[in-house]
Structure 1
Amino acid sequence: MDLATLIGIVLSFGLVAAAIVTGGSPLIFISIPSMLIVLGGTIGATMVNYPLANILGLMGVIKKTFFSTLESPAEIIEKFMDYANRARREGILSLEPLLREIEDPFLRKGLQLTVDGLEPQTIEEIMETEISYLESRHEVGSEICSVLGAFAPAMGMIGTVIGLVQMLQTMSDPSTIGPAMAVALLTTFYGAVLANLVFIPMAGKLKTRSKEEVLRKEMILNGILSISKGENPRIIEEKLNSFLPPRERRQAE
């Protein structure tokens, strides 16, 4: 569980809810028509904008904002030092029994290609393609969240216009002015909350997660290529340490 995401959501919604409660009854901020306009309109417009497969896959992408299962760079370096020393002492084929124990599909595939004896250039081309498509998939998820963040306030404005039109048409009946004005204002409120507290922050977190994952993939690729070339374990360690900030680099050495 990513504590920053959890704390951010609890803090932001908690403070908004506290402000609502201290100002009066929270029930006045509940409007079914407003919710239908904002949620229905936002989801519908997004489905028009993207293929259904991308929309259905969004939940899997959003999980990355709450859960992070990435290995730390220091752990990756430690693994590759073990692989490099083993390959140097016993040969590349000594890595084959380890493949069954590796959970990361990217790392397992890279080592499998190395054990199979492919040229470093061929390995690099295959693995770089995987990284490229990984970035593309992550980019789509982030874009969808950004689009949701753009549509939500727009649908809120549409709801505001609907409420104002209803209010102006029934000015002769004072009892209808209040409900129509509530729809007008609450749709804007709902749209702003969804955009600025949910969708836009999620898009930013997904971009950060994507950069972190790509960095680790690049580290793994660099280590695999170094092993396939038979480089000295010390050189491999220095190459992988170059991916880390100086403080973490010293700890990993």
Structure 2
Amino acid sequence: MDISSFLGILLAVAGILLGLLIEGGHIGQVLQPTAAMIVLGGTAGAVMLQFPLTTVASSFTRVARIFLVPRSNGEAVLKQLVGFAHKARRNGIVSLDNELGSIQDPFLKQALMLAVDGTEPSELRAIMELRIHMQLERDDKIPALYEAAGGFSPTIGIIGAVLGLIQVMQHLDHIEEVGKGIAVAFVATIYGVGLANILLLPAAGKLRQRIKEEQSAMEMTLEGVISILEGMNPNMMEIKLSAFLGGTHAAPGKPTKVTRGAA
């Protein structure tokens, strides 16, 4: 679970409600089902007009990625690639054909299969980079959808507020109810702005981070397979690929030496 996402939403909502209570208000003042229906329905309709239905449906399935940390482990992938490199150096690249059935990552499996089949490194890179590019094109539509929704919802909230004011102005004969009616009308604006800035736009940013992490993992995998195909020394390959993990991974048996300056 991504604790940061849960705590972020909880802190934002708690801060707003606590501020309302401190100012002497109560939660019932901002609980308006009609305003919520206007904002949610209007925002959903605008998003469906801009994006295909398949993208809208995919956006619901990707919500879990906001609250769950990806299972992919860069260290484990690096260790697996180094193991493949040692085996290929001892027995040849064709010996990795026996490993294809046990590989769970479809990207690694396809890249390694092309390498075993004798694909030239330049051709393998071109094929897999095209796959990375096309996957990024598809994945980028999801955060774009949330960003668009975050742009629509405040405006829909204003529409809801104006609709509420229209109803208030039609009952000016009950002047004591006008102030209360205006307050209720502006709840739609709160819903629109709050939905955009507490949920939709931050969700888009978190999804873009997830996409970048997946892209980095695929790039590391591709560089590893090409290095194996080119016959690079496994230890050198491990050092090379550790850059994708922030350069914090040290080759086993080769600790970093610290040189002390002369006193």
The answer on 1:8 being equivalent to 2:8 is yes
Matches within 5 A, 1:60-75: 60-75=61-76
Q: Are 1:111 and 2:112 counterparts?
A: yes
CA RMSD of aligned residues (A): 1.9
* Higher helix content, 1 or 2: 1
1:69 deviates by 2.3
User: Which residue pairs with 2:82 in the alignment?
Assistant: 81
Structure with max Cα Rg: 2
How far 1:187 sits from its partner (Å)? 0.3
Q: Which residue of 1 aligns with 2:258?
A: none
Distance in 2 between residues matched to 1:24 and 1:10, nearest whole Å = 20
The Cα shift of 1:145 comes to 0.5
Q: Shift of residue 179 of structure 1?
A: 5.6
Partner of residue 29, structure 2: 28
Q: Which AA in structure 2 matches 1:39? A: L
Q: Determine whether 1:38 maps to 2:39.
A: yes
Residue type at the aligned position of 1:79: Q
**Which stretches of structure 1, 4 residues or longer, exceed 3 Å deviation after superposition?**
17-25, 249-253
Aligned residue number for residue 102 of structure 1: 103
Could you say what secondary structure the match of 1:249 adopts? coil
By how many angstroms is 1:230 displaced? 1.8
Q: Which moved more, 1:160-169 or 1:237-246?
A: 237-246
Aligned CA distance change for structure 1 residues 183 and 197 (closer, same or farther; 3 Å): same
Asked if 2 retains the 8 angstrom alpha-carbon contact of 1:138 and 1:206, the reply is no
What TM-score comes out, normalization by structure 2 length? 0.89
Give the stretch that moved more between structures: 87-96 or 11-20.
Answer: 11-20
**Identity value in percent:** 35
Which one-letter code corresponds to 2:90 in the other structure? R
Unmatched tracts of structure 1, length 5 or more: none
CA contact (8 A) 2:93 2:116 kept: yes
Aligned pair 1:243/2:244, yes or no? Answer: yes
TM-score (structure 1 length as normaliser): 0.92
Instruction: Give secondary structure in 1 for the equivalent of 2:186.
Output: helix
Alpha-carbon distance in structure 2 between the residues aligned to 1:201 and 1:94: 46
CA contact (8 A) 2:29 2:184 kept: no
* Alpha-carbon distance, 1:21 to partner: 4.7
CA distance in structure 1 between the partners assigned to 2:246 and 2:108 by the alignment: 23
The alpha-carbon deviation at position 185 of structure 1 amounts to 0.9
**2:238–2:251 contact (8 Å) kept in structure 1:** no
Q: Runs of 5+ in structure 2 lacking a partner?
A: 255-263
Q: CA deviation at 1:81?
A: 0.9
C-alpha contact 1:38 1:187 (8 A) present in aligned 2: yes
Q: Any residues of structure 2 matched to 1:1-253 within 5 Å, and which?
A: 1-21=1-21, 23-174=24-175, 176-178=177-179, 180-246=181-247, 248-250=248-250
CA positional deviation for 1:172: 1.5
**How big is the shift at 1:194?**
0.5
Count residues with an aligned counterpart: 252
Residue 261 of structure 2: aligned partner: none
CA distance in 1, matches of 2:213, 2:239: 20
1:47 to 1:175, Cα distance in 2 relative to 1, 3 A: farther
Letter in 2 for 1:141: I
